[in-house]
Amino acid sequence: MMSQDSNKNDINSYDFPSRVEKALKLIHTDSFKALDYFNEILDDFFKFTPDEIKENNLSSLIINSLNGKGSILNAFDKIDEAEECFDMVLNDFDSQDFTSLINKALILRKKGHLEESLDYYDEIAKYYPDKKELILAMKSEVYGELKIKLSDTDLDDYSIEAKDLIGRGLASHENKIVLEALDYYQKAIKADSSCKYLVLSLMDDVKREFFKLFLYEDIDIEKDEISKKKGAVLHYLFIQNNLFYAYMLNEEILEENKNDLFALNAMGMIFFYLDDCDLSIRYFDRCNTIDEKYLYPYLNKAIALARAKRFDEAKESFGKIKGLPNLIRDPNEEELDIFKRTIISNSIYSLGF
């Protein structure tokens, strides 16, 4: 019979820590190779008994491997296989693992099990109160899928006041007076809570109008591993509209460099979408405290300030980008017009164009 010491040496010979680290780094650069690595690693892990795994403190490495494999399979749209990975973590290793819980909720949403998805989000909020804003955003997206589309609903089902406010919001949105539209929608929910799911979806459309204005640094994703992650953040934010993956990747970047200007600017954009304008503004300010010549956050901060109805400060921040060279993406005339309407429709100020 193998002694405990010789068994430990046998496990050490597999070099699990460095292999798992290597596979995790490959997830966003070469997913196919990463998946092969995770399969090989997990095959080796399960050569050992549960007691041996526990005695040698391998559980966290197995969890990381299962989560890594599951994330790749989910991205490949192999959701049943991905769900098996996350279920294994939650059932056999750690019922409160954040990554597995959030991915389980996302998969249930993909499968159309929306109420079960919401239950998982509630569990996550209970275990991780510091992730409250993120969870609220994920839940609001599920609410948006639960509701009936505007074209399929009868506004007469709602109170006269709510119906009027929704109509005003739609008119304001159509005329690109986006702050006014949000105000009307928020008032509609207060007037009649039964219109909540419909109105949350309409508000999401309006917030996307703001989001189209944001400025961000152009990234050469071939430069290095961090650049690949930054490119993935932009992809999740502006192509897939997936705040969760954008947020988690951004956290990884900031763990390596807490003063990374791209990541701080992206965090400001993320928290704007989560309706936390104060925190959004703090991220943009932090960028310009580190480097006042880093131009992108000035407009972004102005957008967040306008959303918070701090119009004097919005005008001042917006003015700092006028005439400044070297912006990768200059806001076009239509975008500037949206921003001007945002200010003009809510204050007496002109931006001086």
321 and 262 in a single domain? The answer is yes
In this prediction, residue 244 carries a pLDDT of 78
In this prediction, residue 328 carries a pLDDT of 42
Position 245 pLDDT exceeds 70: yes
78 and 174 in a single domain? The answer is no
132 and 179 in a single domain? The answer is no
Position 308 pLDDT exceeds 90: no
Between CA 269 and CA 247 the distance in angstroms is 10
Higher pLDDT: 205 or 7? It is: 205
18 and 131 in a single domain? The answer is yes
For 95-104, 120-129, 289-298, 335-344, which range has the lowest pLDDT when averaged over its residues?
Answer: 335-344
79 and 130 in a single domain? The answer is yes
In this prediction, residue 53 carries a pLDDT of 85
Number of domains into which the chain is organized: 3
134 and 160 in a single domain? The answer is no
In a domain, 215, yes or no: no
142 and 17 in a single domain? The answer is yes
**Beta-carbon contacts of residue 242 (< 8 Å; ≥ 6 apart):** 236
Higher pLDDT: 7 or 237? It is: 237
In a domain, 219, yes or no: no
Residue 332 carries which DSSP code?
-
Boundary-marking domain end, from 146, 171, 189: 146
Kindly state the average pLDDT of the residues 252-279.
91
Report pLDDT digits (tens) over 167-181: 999 898 888 777 888
In this prediction, residue 338 carries a pLDDT of 55
In a domain, 243, yes or no: yes
In this prediction, residue 2 carries a pLDDT of 41
In a domain, 58, yes or no: yes
For 70-74, 92-96, 235-239, which range has the lowest pLDDT when averaged over its residues?
Answer: 235-239
Cα separations (Å) of 258 from 113, 209, 250, 300? 38, 29, 10, 20
Report pLDDT digits (tens) over 35-62: 999 999 999 998 888 888 888 888 999 9
Considering only CA atoms, give the Rg of the chain: 24
240 and 309 in a single domain? The answer is yes
Cα separations (Å) of 83 from 4, 71, 78, 202? 34, 9, 9, 31
Cα separations (Å) of 31 from 18, 26, 246, 266, 292? 18, 6, 17, 24, 37
In a domain, 78, yes or no: yes
172 and 71 in a single domain? The answer is no
pTM across the whole model? 0.62
Residue range(s) defining the domain that contains residue 250: 225-344
Higher pLDDT: 213 or 268? It is: 268
117 and 190 in a single domain? The answer is no
In this prediction, residue 151 carries a pLDDT of 53
In a domain, 39, yes or no: yes
In this prediction, residue 322 carries a pLDDT of 61
Report pLDDT digits (tens) over 130-150: 887 778 777 767 766 665 455
Could you tell me what percent of the chain has a pLDDT over 90?
A: 31
In a domain, 1, yes or no: no
Kindly state the average pLDDT of the residues 225-241.
84
In this prediction, residue 353 carries a pLDDT of 32
In a domain, 137, yes or no: yes
In this prediction, residue 278 carries a pLDDT of 92
Between CA 58 and CA 70 the distance in angstroms is 18
183 and 77 in a single domain? The answer is no
For residue 56, the SS3 value is coil
User: Residue 320 maps to which CATH number?
Assistant: 1.25.40.10
Distance of CA 292 to the CA centre of its chain: 26
**Beta-carbon contacts of residue 108 (< 8 Å; ≥ 6 apart):** 114, 116, 117, 120
Mean pLDDT score across all residues of the chain:
81
List phi, psi (to 5°) of 320.
-70, -20
Position 330 pLDDT exceeds 70: no
CA end-to-end distance (rounded Å), the chain: 84
Q: pLDDT band at residue 287, thresholds of 50, 70 and 90?
A: very high
Nearest alpha carbon to residue 106 among 253, 243, 274, 270:
243
For 250-264, 295-309, 311-325, which range has the lowest pLDDT when averaged over its residues?
Answer: 311-325
The HSE-up count of residue 148 (CA atoms within 13 Å, CB side) is 9
Higher pLDDT: 274 or 65? It is: 65
256 and 335 in a single domain? The answer is yes
Run of H or E residues at 205: helix 196-211
**Beta-carbon contacts of residue 162 (< 8 Å; ≥ 6 apart):** 188, 189, 191, 192, 195
In this prediction, residue 144 carries a pLDDT of 62
